[in-house]
Amino acid sequence: MKKVKSILFLFLGLVSLVIGVAGTVLPVLPGGPFYLFAAFCFAKSSKSIENWFKSTSLYEKYVEAFLQKKGMTRKEKIRINLVADFFIVISVFYVDILLVKILLVVSALYKHYYFIKKIKTIDRNRTKQRAS
């Protein structure tokens, strides 16, 4: 059972990593959250895979930076929310089931609440000064 769990986390981590890389290349898809999820999955799959992922530049740039800053810049928050809202709005127009439409709108509202109230907004200038 432990082997199956390890393989499942490895698979989820790889899928999340691929989506994260696509998000780095494509401006409409946020890569950061997928890298965070990949790091979590790799940590749960095996220690050697976790160590490998932590040694990559992707981890250093996206995951470690987020964990050290303990928040996001206003620009990052706005970008992620706009992209997510774009896809939610498209979904609301294409779905014919009222309950699904309501759930999409409620999830969008909760997402905005979470980004505003739960994720700390950090000043980009201060993070650049610390890095110098």
Element (H, E) at 132: none
- In sequence order, the 6+-apart residues with CB closer than 8 A to the CB of 34 are 16, 17, 19, 20, 23
Q: 6 lies in a domain?
A: yes
User: 86 and 111 share a domain?
Assistant: yes
If you write DSSP's letter for every residue of 83-107 in order, what string do you get?
HHHHHHHHHHHH---HHHHHHHHHH
Contact in structure between 84 and 108 (CB atoms under 8 Å): yes
Q: Which residue has the higher pLDDT, 24 or 52?
A: 52
φ/ψ (deg, to 5) at 100: -65, -40
Q: 26 lies in a domain?
A: yes
User: 27 and 84 share a domain?
Assistant: no
User: 13 and 56 share a domain?
Assistant: yes
User: 19 and 62 share a domain?
Assistant: yes
Q: 123 lies in a domain?
A: no
Domain stop point among 34, 53, 68: 68
Give percent above pLDDT 90 in the chain.
1
Most confident of 56-65, 83-92, 97-106: 97-106
pLDDT score of 129: 47
User: 60 and 82 share a domain?
Assistant: no
